[in-house]
Amino acid sequence: MTDEFTTDIYYDDDANVSEIEDKTVAVLGYGSQGHAHALNLDDSGVDVVVGLQKSSSSRETAQDEGLEIATPANAAAAADIVMMLVPDTIQPSVYEAVADEMDAGDTLMFAHGFNIHYGQIEPSEDVDVTMIAPKSPGHLVRRNYEKGEGTPGLLAVYQDTTGEAQDEALAYAKAIGCTRAGVIETTFEEEVETDLFGEQAVLCGGVTEMVKAGFETLVDAGYSPEMAYFECLNELKLIVDLMYEGGNMEMWNSVSDTAEYGGLTRGEEVIDREGMEDILEGVQTGEFAREWINENQANRPAYKQYRAAEQDHQIEEVGARLRDLFAWGEDE
């Protein structure tokens, strides 16, 4: 563990897989995260059972990979740790199906705190409630583990009835490879609110809207869609890779002086700080959570409209056509 930062960061030496070697982990769900957690735990010598409905299309895949399969309720009944890795929108109903199968002293674990923080799941007071959240898509969690490398993750303890919740969570983090890279201690509240804000304002919403706005500005001014695509979308990966590798300064040091000066003097003009603050407030007050919950209860009418509009945007057609023309498209 290091104390050089404002929060604690844990590594392999801070965790011991023996904390869960005599326990059974039920991994509920076998999607992107579920398959990675289950396979990494299994490879680390942890007893794993995958909880899937009998109608799930993932049952055959999990069985082919040598994992034990059971219904969510039966998996929870056999387990000491129940890891919720089904989508946020169905977690409450899944929890209702497994809650009575959990014993006092068991652990309910999450990789995202949405349903705990916004009160959609109210766990029993006699179980531990923790979070281990790899900060990466599941296929990279698995790939990094197989390569002997790690994926950074988050650790949070919401409810510690046994007095062993943190040690157990760190053992889980080590078993899936996260402590190889480092696990940052946080809270359910902080993880949820920063995650939702980051997705909406920067990583997903902000970036895609900025790319589309740049593309539309150039096309509307008479420039070719192909040039607009390359300048506003294709080259974005090159810039982000540099930032990922060494921060903003690595990127500034790698681009031309002209690009650096233009970016430093003009970038703020396209950023709406007040809009970002409004987005954060909507996350903090639960406004977004209520909206999303209501949207799902109504069978996602707005979501479907937004998604269709995104699919129909000109940048999608231009990008698909260009990616097919270049050799690197064959490797994507």
What are the catalytic residues? 112
Strand ranges inside the chain, DSSP E: 9-10, 24-28, 47-51, 68-70, 81-84, 107-110, 128-134, 153-159, 183-185
DSSP 151: -
Closest Cα to residue 155, out of 137, 178, 139? 178
Residue 102 is encoded by which pair of tokens? 């959990």
Euclidean distance between CA atoms 113 and 89, whole angstroms: 12
Taking only Cα atoms into account, the Rg of the chain, rounded to an integer number of angstroms, comes to 22
Distances (CA, A) of 14 to 7, 17, 152, 183, 288: 15, 10, 14, 10, 37
For 157-226, the DSSP string reads: EEE-SSS-HHHHHHHHHHHTTHHHH-EEE--HHHHHHHHHHIIIIIITHHHHHHHHHHHHHHHHTT--HH
Q: Is 47 exposed, middle or buried (0-12, 13-18, 19+ CB in 10 A)?
A: middle
Q: Tokens 């707005």 — which residue?
A: 302
Contacts of 148 (CB under 8 A, 6+ apart): 180
How, if at all, do strands 9-10 and 183-185 pair? antiparallel
Q: Is 59 exposed, middle or buried (0-12, 13-18, 19+ CB in 10 A)?
A: middle
Backbone angles phi, psi at 148, to 5 degrees: 80, 15
CB 92 within 8 A of CB 120: yes
Query: Given CA atoms 49, 51, 55, 58 in this order, what sign does their dihedral have?
Result: negative
